[in-house]
Amino acid sequence: VFAAIVGNSGVAGIKFAGWICTGSASLLSESIHSIADLGNQVLLAVGLQQSLRVADEQRPYGYGFEVYVWAMISGVSTFILGAGASVYHGVSCLLAPHEIDSLPTALGVLLAAGVLEGYTLSVAWHEMQVEARKAEMTPLQYLSRGTDPLNPAVLLEDSVAVVGVGIAAAGVGLTHVTGNPVYDAAGSIAVGGLMGAVAIFIINRNRTFLGQSVPRRTRDVVRTLEADEMVLTVQDVKSVLVGPQSARFKAEIHFNPQLLSDKYLAAHNNLREVHKTCRAVETEEDAKRLFERSAVFLLATLSIEVDRLEHIVRTAYPEFKYIDLEVL
């Protein structure tokens, strides 16, 4: 994100200077595009910082969802400011054509912008590959199904930027060769259309996560619990993402009572102690104390088993940072 902010700051300045010198509709569209990208990446950086806040009483599961909210805002701003302004200016130039003043200046600006945009795209692609490997996905799978809203957004925006530079160069070149400014205006409209398509994809992608998406490995967690000998059944499973790298898992566990009591009796020679205590029971009060003492120790054993299962899940599936197992 921060590399993209630096790169787009330089690109936006170069493109605006080129537009002032040439009056090209495609260059103005590209300038608007870079400003929109710069603003979006600032919004993504704000969302990243907000999401890193520590959980508190107001947000016991943390602020991870902030990054999705800000990514959604970023997508909306891309659609309104970037795509809308580019298409509007392209249509305006179709209605009131304007000649390009200097072809070499326009192409030189686009070449410089293309180099910078290509560099930021390569950085974004590298980061995407790293994160995809961590998630055990291909880059394409990570782009469509990964829970990270930042790297895919930056990659898509930078990809459109590189393609947009090519479209703008084609529009400027065709306008110069044919003398018809329609090509330059069409380039502006095409760039706006690309930005709109990416914005819609980003909006829908983050809407899915904001809609309480179920974590990818939920079924794996259930199977791991069901495979434990102490568990008879796993019921009322509920899981939800609470951030790009964190999820909550809740389930009701029906423990095996026979194994639970066997585990308690096998620990610290408890069977002999229970037998001795039972032989000492003479009154109802003695029986009551025996029952209460056994209940305390059995509940303690049950609590240990719950902690053990939570540790197993947390170790095998580290994205599940919040685990609530209830005794059925």
What pLDDT is attached to residue 211?
59
What's the rounded mean pLDDT across residues 232-259?
Answer: 90
Cα 187 → chain centroid: 32
Burial class of residue 41 (count of CB atoms within 10 Å of its CB; 0-12, 13-18, 19+): buried
What pLDDT is attached to residue 1?
58
What pLDDT is attached to residue 249?
93
* pLDDT tier for residue 263 given thresholds of 50, 70 and 90: confident
What's the rounded mean pLDDT across residues 180-195?
Answer: 85
CA torsion 141-204-39-181 (nearest 10°) is: 90
Which carries the bigger pLDDT value, residue 227 or residue 54? 227
Which carries the bigger pLDDT value, residue 131 or residue 1? 131
What pLDDT is attached to residue 234?
95
Is the pLDDT reported for residue 92 higher than 90?
A: no
The amino acid at residue 322 is: Y
Q: Do 320 and 249 form a contact (C-beta atoms < 8 A)? A: yes
Q: Do 319 and 245 form a contact (C-beta atoms < 8 A)? A: yes
Is the pLDDT reported for residue 177 higher than 70?
A: yes
What pLDDT is attached to residue 3?
62
Rounded CA separation 48/70 (Å): 8
Give the tens place of pLDDT for each residue, 277-321: 777 777 878 778 777 777 787 888 889 999 999 999 999 999 898
Is the pLDDT reported for residue 269 higher than 70?
A: no
| Token pair recorded at residue 210 | 């904001």
What pLDDT is attached to residue 310?
94
What pLDDT is attached to residue 93?
79
Is the pLDDT reported for residue 192 higher than 80?
A: yes
Give the tens place of pLDDT for each residue, 63-73: 888 888 888 88
Is the pLDDT reported for residue 260 higher than 90?
A: no
Q: How far apart are the first and last CA of the chain?
A: 46
Sheet holding 246-255, edge to edge: 231-243, 246-255, 320-327
What pLDDT is attached to residue 76?
79
* pLDDT tier for residue 18 given thresholds of 50, 70 and 90: confident
Helix (H) or strand (E) holding 68: helix 66-77
Rounded CA separation 7/277 (Å): 77
Q: Do 216 and 241 form a contact (C-beta atoms < 8 A)? A: no
**What mean pLDDT is reported for the chain?**
82
DSSP annotation of 268 reads: G
Q: What's the CA angle centered on 12, arms 8 and 18, to 5 degrees?
A: 145
* pLDDT tier for residue 7 given thresholds of 50, 70 and 90: low
What pLDDT is attached to residue 231?
94
Cα 313 → chain centroid: 22
